[in-house]
Amino acid sequence: MSAVPTISLKDFDARKEEITQQLMDASINVGFFTLYDHGIPSEDIQAAFDLSREFFALPDEVKAKTPLDGKNAGWERGTQVRPSTGTADQKESIQLQFARMEGLWPSDEDIAGFRTRAEKFMHQVQTLSIKVMECFAVGLGLPIDTFTEGTVDPGAGDSQSVLRLLHYHSTEGKSFGPNFWRAGAHADFDVLTMLFQRDGEGGLEVCPGRKVVGDFGMGQTWLPVEARQDRIVCNIGDQLMRWSDDRLKSTYHRVRLPEGTESRGPRYSIAFFNQARTNTTIQGPQKKYPEITGGQFIADALARNRMQSAEIARQAAQQPEDKIAREIHFVPQHLQISA
């Protein structure tokens, strides 16, 4: 595998069977793919990036009015320390949900119409996500609404899906050690991630080859993913990997700090995480894994991360730092985290 597959959604209804096969092939073999001809207008994607830039241009004391609340909603800056690196990602972000956002929307006096503008884009991306998740259900021989009924909020308030606006800070005039990344290696904990990037603001890399949920080691082959605003980068998350009995692969990925002659300016990206609802039951058709709810899945994943962090701390006490930096690039850190 030399590149992440690229799939056109043009004439979706007429080509649905062909597209489904392409999505399945990409997700079984790599776990990542990019979509074009996807139907979200370019001006709406640009409007979402404009909203992101407006928010991150605010002073920190203004952004801090809506701090990260422990339920994947709110703003954070430099707080995500991944077990794969032991250092904080060089970025800030704000996470937005359909539910449980009381008091967490930036105010109109700080950014006019922030909630209305954000929710418009969230619904557009979720609508596209439904098409893709229905293809996965059909490809796996399951009822077409298996993943959409389990992720799209019916109004019960237990939706866990998240839109995350991300701002990776400029590295102009700065130097970093070998253990620093814009986003350290991780796998997402959701069902399906859809990532929007701006032209030329690259650094995203993918490491295909994961075999089962909970498998951390994969090798050292990393595929770069081109940053193009007209394409959406998608990846399978741990929940869908488990839901598919490990047929669809949740793949580790990371974002490098700029190197050599690469642009060292800021990088912006937007990720939408289709997350199983809190009370949705996750179990594949072959019942490879026991039933688990979306809420319990996250609790277990975080507990596993804490154990892995303790193991990395133990290793670090016994080995040189540069050896640790080379060997521990395959540990997921936190739900709803992407490039």
- Asked if residue 149 is part of any domain, the answer here is yes
Q: What was the pLDDT predicted at 292? A: 97
Instruction: Read off the pTM.
Output: 0.88
Which tens digit of pLDDT belongs to each residue from 122-179? 999 999 999 999 999 999 999 999 999 989 876 567 888 999 999 988 877 777 767 7
| Contact (CB, 8 A) for 44 and 134 | no
Instruction: Give the residue among 259, 239, 258, 260 at the shortest CA–CA distance from 250.
Output: 239
State which of 34-48, 55-69, 250-264 shows the largest mean pLDDT: 34-48
Looking up residue 164, the CATH number of its domain turns out to be 2.60.120.330
**What does the pLDDT look like over 87-110, one tens digit per residue?**
767 789 999 999 888 889 999 999
82/327 Cα distance (integer angstroms): 14
**pLDDT in the model for residue 319:** 65
335 falls within a domain: no
Q: Residue 1: inside a domain, yes or no?
A: no
Residue 232 clears pLDDT 80, i.e. is over it:
yes
Residue 34 has pLDDT above 80, yes or no: yes
280: pLDDT strictly greater than 90: yes
pLDDT of residue 182: 80
The count of structural domains within the chain is: 1
Domain contains 265: yes
Residue 21 lies in a domain: yes
Give the model's pLDDT for residue 336: 38
Q: Dihedrals φ, ψ of 5, to 5°?
A: -60, 145
Does the residue 333 lie in any domain? no
In a domain, residue 332? The reply is no
Question: Which is more confident, 270 or 189?
Answer: 270
Residue 51: per-residue pLDDT = 98
Strand partners, 165: 94, 270
Whether 150 is in a domain gets the answer: yes
Domain residues for 146? 6-327
pLDDT of residue 328: 38
Name the residue with higher pLDDT: 179 or 328: 179
pLDDT at position 330 over 60: no
Give the tens place of pLDDT for each residue, 6-31.
Answer: 999 999 999 999 999 999 999 999 99
Q: What is the mean pLDDT of residues 33-54?
A: 98
